[in-house]
Amino acid sequence: MPTLPRSLRNSALALGAWALVLTPSLPARGEPAPSRDDIVSRLSRFEAAPNLDIAALKQQVLERSRSRSRNEPPPEKRPPIAPDLLQLPTFNVAITFDTDTPVVKPESYEALGRIADALVQVSLLPYSFLIVGHMESTGRRENNALLSQRRADSVRDALVNTFKISSKRIQSIGVGEEQFVDPAHPTSAVNEQIQILTVAKMPEQSEQPAAANPLPPAKKSAKKR
């Protein structure tokens, strides 16, 4: 087999090196479960809470996913539907589901356990979180929005019911293909990842429970003479 001249080989090696540098550093499917400390480190960088209306955002996702406008931009050029989310501390995790369902596969429960363990660490206990489901740009756009919501709900349910994280600390939203994890590659499997976002600081609880109203002293029965 003929070999390439040395100059061409060097150019190919250089291009390969640049490709590695420019490739987004995103978790891939089948990777080991994330470490608790890495999750804590990423989610504890909270500065300010955005003004989020989750119910309204869910409606916006559905409405946009049903769009049939001729002027609709291609998937890679759609503006993110919730840009405020891009400014929040985020941890991406590749949770695997049964095909076209929200059923979490057993092999992903180790990752969910690590996430639950992170959420009860001292540095994250004061915060609430948002589970965000995404989908790649294949199949029907509206179906992708609905499935991403069901998968985000499924992850939330597992954290609450299986791992006993307080339901008051976790909300869920599916954005389908209206906000990609990797906008440059809309059909990439990376866009099916689940994101955990730190969204708010929980109201501070009183350090000591309110004292119960003391019972009145019992009356002594009068002695008969």
Give the whole-angstrom CA distance, residue 154 versus residue 131.
10
Q: List, for residues 166-215, the tens digit of each pLDDT value.
A: 999 999 999 999 999 999 999 999 999 999 999 999 987 533 344 444 45
Q: List, for residues 45-58, the tens digit of each pLDDT value.
A: 999 999 999 999 99
> What is the SS3 assignment for 49?
coil
Distances in Å between the Cα of 142 and the Cα atoms of 62, 130, 146 are 7, 21, 6
- Under-70 pLDDT residues of the chain: 1-31, 205-225
Q: Is 160 left (phi over 0), alpha (psi -120 to 50) or beta?
A: alpha
Give the per-residue pLDDT at 221. Answer: 52
Domains within the chain, CATH numbers bracketed: 53-66+75-201 (3.30.1330.60)
Helix axes 109-119, 36-43, angle to 10 degrees: 50
Give the per-residue pLDDT at 203. Answer: 86
- What count of other Cβ atoms lies within 10 Å of the Cβ of residue 71? 5
What are residue 148's phi and psi, to 5 degrees?
A: -65, -35
Placement of tokens 């989610």 in the chain:
43
* pTM: predicted TM-score of the whole model, two decimal places: 0.77
**Would strands 170-174 and 90-93 be described as parallel, antiparallel, or unpaired?**
unpaired
